[in-house]
Amino acid sequence: MSEFIDDSDPFQVESGALKPVSGEELARQRILRLLFTEPGDIVHRPDLGGGLQSFRNKPPTPTNTRRIRNQAARLLDSLDFVESHEVEVVGSGSAYTLTIRAVIDGAELMIEEVAVG
């Protein structure tokens, strides 16, 4: 059965129960979830989410790169558990790669090379 369990699924099953996450992994999931949620995806929070998926297949112009970086930074600002952060966006071909360094509870959390789109 274990071969059918996707390790990236936060709801993976462990000994018949849901496996919760905490600490650094919880913070990482919260950040990525906020960035990649499309506004309107959550029925009772129509404005929530960064909507970075909308940059899929858009040319990696300096303007688009800057917009992604600003959008990500703005969303990270809104998270009260993030003390400080740096966002780096690299565009190549029709894809962007996002790298986030955030300080949470005094410790640095690095989220590397997340593909946008």
Partner 1 sequence: MADLLPFQDLYDEFESAVTADVETGLADFSPGSRLDAYAGVAATAAQTVMRWISRQVRRVFISASSEGDLDVAVADRYGDVDFLQRRTDEDDETYRARVLEYAQNLGRGTISSLDYYLRRVRTDLDAESVLVSEDLDTGILTMRATALAGEDASSVAASIVGDLPDWRPAAHGWNVIIDEAA
Which residues of the chain form contacts with partner 1 (CB under 8 A)? Answer: 10-11, 17-18, 20, 26, 30, 33-34, 37, 41-45, 48-49
Nearer to partner 1, 49 or 91 (CB): 49
Nearer to partner 1, 26 or 73 (CB): 26
Least distance to partner 1, CB of residue 91, Å: 26
CB neighbour list of residue 19: distance below 8 Å, 6 or more residues apart: 10, 11, 12, 13
Least distance to partner 1, CB of residue 60, Å: 27
Nearer to partner 1, 33 or 56 (CB): 33
CB neighbour list of residue 40: distance below 8 Å, 6 or more residues apart: 46, 49
Least distance to partner 1, CB of residue 4, Å: 20
* Residue 67 CB-density burial (10 A; 0-12 exposed, 13-18 middle, 19+ buried): middle
- How far apart, in Å, do the first and last CA atoms of the chain sit? 31
